[in-house]
Amino acid sequence: MAGTAVRRRLSWQRAEVLELRHETPRASRLTLRPPDWTGHRAGQHVDVRLTAPDGYTAQRSYSLASPPEREAVDLVVERLDDGEVSPYLTEELRPGDLLELRGPIGGYFVWPAAPDGPVQLIAGGSGVVPFLAMLGHHRASRSSVPVRLLYSARTVDDIIGRAELGEPGSDATDAEVTVTLTRGAPDGWTGPTGRVDSALLAERTFAPDRRPQVLVCGPTTFVETVARGLIDLGHDPGRVKTERFGASGGP
Amino acid sequence: MSFISRGFTGRRRKEEAPAGRLPPGQYDVGDGFPVLSAGPTPHTSLDRWDFSLRGEVDEGRRWSWEEFRALPREPVSVDIHCVTSWSKFDTRWEGVSVDTLLTEVETAAAYVLAFSDGGYTTNLPLADVSDGQAWVVDTYDGEPLDPEHGGPARLLVPHLYFWKSAKWIRGLTLTTADEPGFWENFGYHNYGDPWREQRYAGD
Ligand SMILES: Cc1cc2nc3c(=O)[nH]c(=O)nc-3n(C[C@H](O)[C@H](O)[C@H](O)COP(=O)(O)OP(=O)(O)OC[C@H]3O[C@@H](n4cnc5c(N)ncnc54)[C@H](O)[C@@H]3O)c2cc1C
């Protein structure tokens, strides 16, 4: 699991908020222009810091949703009603505001520089955000690596990244996208429903004998269940990478 | 600090924390115990588990699970601080002091690299894992350590950010030169003192 050394100083910068859009009823897309951006790798994140008038600060991590090929950077933040930072980012922030951040951070949970097999992405909820950057990069770099995304969302309205993913079921994207809905599907839904389990993994992801590189991202319990399911199916643990968005307060 | 985030007041969860025990930029996670790791949780059966000391030592050491369990044990009650900004107070563990493991070891090493099932590594100065500052623990809150939290055994170095407390530990390599471990290679701070907010390289 050795990595490339990325050892430069990370300093805070104030990025202008260019645009804010509702991505879903619960998630917003923030388009930012950091003054000093050296580029990023798909899958990296930034740390965002908020400062109150009395000096109190709160800091959280957010994945970059935009591919490295784009100049402005996007974050997609899901609002947790009882959260501290995400309600501010999704409801209080306005275009023209400055947002303190530093990054890009992380060199592990990233699109593989030289994939030596197909790439399987598996997301739960806002865990799809780093994969939007990866799929965008895959497209922009005309990569021919076979890619699949298995994405668990609550309802159709909760699907983050519909623009990038194409309407579920369509072939608007060059990756094979499967969305499973855990809280009910509308009439005419042709995709699967219910949580990601071993049957769905077996059916909709690259089989272990194709030696895919697998990236799993989402809430802790989702990641734990999926990673375990993959190992049980016979995937090499050394080829499964995980990123847990672990609600900071949850177990 | 001159910068203010317009309209942000914050939750001030800080005030709920015992005075003087919350490092800067951290908040009290209360009863929660978040899980973070870079890959799937390894499951090594106890009859195949061992703990070894290797590298710059006169003679390598190895303990089977039975032998490890028979070593003198200590209860440890400490605060822990994760780089992702949660802290947890008065966590209760039990295990073997690293001092016990290093008893009678002759070494010229100044560093250790902890290594784990799953390939994880993390580096620490030898001075930071001796003198009652570090343990290999296999019990949390009176129960065998859950695999999600690093069971059967993990390193516990509470005075540094928690990524230094390697889960699923299988041993220590003693080295004369400092060698960055897994997260340290990905831009995290080489030492990781929460009180100095050493999160990333250069902090
Ligand atoms: C590498 C990484 C990338 C990430 N990328 C994204 C992303 O792209 N998009 C995204 O939306 N999120 C992402 N996250 C998650 C994000 O960092 C935050 O955790 C998330 O936005 C919640 O922050 P918050 O301040 O709103 O909630 P918090 O205030 O941190 O609360 C989170 C939950 O914990 C509970 N809680 C916390 N403190 C207490 C307390 N004292 N008492 C009771 N309950 C408490 C609350 O119930 C709440 O629901 C990422 C996380 C990581 C580590």
Q: What length is written for chain A?
A: 251
Taking an 8 Å cut-off on Cβ atoms, the answer to whether B34 and A250 are in contact is yes
- Output the CA A190–ligand 1 centroid distance in Å: 32
State yes or no: pLDDT of B1 exceeds 80.
Answer: no
Distance CA B173, CA B60 (A): 10
In this prediction, residues A162-184 reach a mean pLDDT of 77
Residue A149 scores a pLDDT above 90? yes
Predicted local distance difference test score (pLDDT) of residue B186: 83
* Ligand 1 closest atom vs CA A109: 1
Q: What is the predicted pLDDT for the residue at A172? A: 47
Ligand 1 atom closest to residue A75's alpha carbon, by position in its atom list: 8
What is the full DSSP assignment across A92-110? I--TT-EEEEEEEE-SSSS
Instruction: Tell me what ipTM this predicted complex has.
Output: 0.82
A92: pLDDT confidence band, cut at 50, 70 and 90?
A: very high
Tens digit of each residue's pLDDT (9 = 90 or more) over A25-48: 999 999 999 999 989 999 999 999
Phi/psi-derived region of residue A138, left when phi > 0, alpha when psi is between -120 and 50, beta in every other case:
alpha
Q: What is the mean pLDDT of residues A216-223?
A: 90
Q: How many CA atoms lie within 13 A of B8 on its CB side?
A: 32
Report the residue among B11, B14, B200 best suited for mutation to probe ligand 1: largest number of ligand atoms under 8 A from its CB. Answer: B11
Q: What is the CA radius of gyration of chain A?
A: 18
Whether residue A26 contacts residue A71, with contact meaning beta carbons closer than 8 Å, is answered with no
d(CA A222, CA A195): 9
Residues from chain B that touch A109, judged by Cβ atoms under 8 A, are 38
Pull the structure tokens for residue B77. Answer: 């009650």
CA angle A148, A149, A154 (to 5 degrees): 155
- What's the mean per-residue pLDDT of chain B? 91
Which pTM value belongs to this model? Answer: 0.82
Ligand 1 pocket by C-beta < 6 Å: which residues?
A 45, 60-63, 76-78, 80, 82-86, 126, 129, 243, 245, 247-250; B 13, 30, 84
Within B78-129, residue ranges assigned H as helices are 98-102, 126-129
Of A110, A105, A113, the closest CA to residue A131 belongs to: A110
Three-state DSSP class for B7?
A: coil
Determine how many CB atoms are found less than 10 A away from the CB of residue B15: 10
Structure tokens at B26: 């951290």
